[in-house]
Homo-oligomer: A and B are copies of this chain.
C-alpha cells in the first residue's frame, strides 16, 4: 500500500486540515493516510482544546486512516526534536512519503536551503551562537543566522509551518531516511490570526471562538467538517470543559509554590538562573495570562515559557529527557485509532517493525511512556474525578477502531 504521512495537531480538525489531507492523498497518489498527532499537549506549550481521542475521531471521520501519537517528549519541544519524533514515527512505520503544509508550497526551496546550510554549516553555527550570546531567542537567532548564509531567502522563517517543514527535511536528509517529502501551499489565513473570516480559518481563531462562546459552538460550524463539531460537542457534553491554560493555573501556582528553586532547575527546559524569577512572578500573578505578561522577556519567549510551565506541571525532568534526546531512534509506536484501511496497512507492516507497538501503560515501561502517562494525568486533572476516571480509561483501552 502506498502510504502518505502527515504531521499534525488537529486542534481541532478544520477545513484547512481537510484540504491538506485531500490534496496530500491526490498528489502522492496514496492508498492510505497516516497521521502522527500530538497528544494532550501541543508544540506551543498548550493543552489541546479537547483530548486526543476525540481529535482522533475527528481525523478518522475525515479521511485519515491511521492516527499514531507523537509522544509528549517530542511534541512539546522546539522544532528539531519535534521533527525528529514525527519523522522517525513515520519511518519506523514504513511510511515512505511525507506531505506537509507550507507558505510557499515549493519543496525545492526547502531542499535548496538544506544544501546551502550544509555547505555553510560552520558559518551558520558561528553566527547562530553569536546571536544567542547577544540574548536573542532561538527562533529569531536562527532566522537571522540562516538569512546570512542564504541571501536570496525564499523561505520566511518567522512562519512556524516553514520552520517545522524545514526541520522535517533536515531530519530526513541528515538521517538518510527513505522518505520522499512534498509540500502543499497553505491557503487562507495565517496561523496566528484570531478573526474568523472564511470557511478555511486558522486553528487559533477557531479555538479563541470556542473558548469565548462556552457551550455554543455554532459560530465555528462553517470552519470545520461536521464530525469535528460533533466530537467537540461530545467532549464538552461529557466534561463541560474546553482545555486552556487558565484552567491549569491553580495547579501550576500550587506546584511552583511548593517546589524548591533547586528542584525547579531539574525540570526540562529550565535554565539555571530563571528559577527565582519563576517563583517570584508565579507568587504574584492572579491569572496565567498575568503571569506570562509579567515573566516574558526577549530571551524567554511566550512559547518557551509555556513549554517550561508544562514540563513543571507534568514533572518532566532533564534527566529523563537526556537519554531520549541522545537516542538515534524512537522507542515505540503508540496507536490512537484507525479505520479498516489503516488496519490493513498496519497488518502489512506489523511483522517488519523494529520497535514495539504499545497502547496501554504498564508498571515497567520506557521513560517516554512514563512521561506520557503523567502528561495525560495532568491533562485530565482539571476534570471532576468521576468523569476523569472515565476519560482516562481511554488511555488504557487501546486504539479507537472505526468500522465503516
Contacts and interface: CB of A to CB of B under 8 A. Distances in A.
**Interface SS of chain A:** helix
Interface stretch (A213-221, A282-290, A301-309): A282-290
B374 A258 contact: yes
A385 interface: yes
Interface stretch (A99-107, A118-126, A246-254): A246-254
Contacts of A276: 363
Contacts of A284: 389
B385 A258 contact: no
A381 B287 contact: no
A285, A287, A381: most-surrounded residue (chain B CB, <10 A) = A381
Interface string A248-292: 001101110111100100000000000010000001111100000
A257 B314 CA distance: 9
Given A285-B385, A286-B385, A385-B287, A378 B257 contact: yes
A385 B253 contact: yes
A263 B276 CA distance: 23
A255, A259, A314: most-surrounded residue (chain B CB, <10 A) = A255
Contact of A253 (B258, B286, B374, B381): B381
Interface string A129-153: 0000000000000000000000000
Nearest to A376: B257
A257 B385 contact: no
Given A257-B377, A258-B313, A258-B315, 10 more contacts: A250-B251, A250-B381, A251-B254, A257-B378, A257-B381, A258-B314, A260-B315, A283-B392, A286-B386, A287-B385
14 contacts: A253-B385, A254-B377, A254-B378, A255-B255, A258-B314, A258-B315, A258-B374, A258-B377, A260-B370, A276-B363, A283-B392, A284-B389, A286-B385, A287-B385
The 5 closest A-B pairs by CB, nearest first: A257-B377, A286-B385, A254-B381, A258-B315, A258-B374
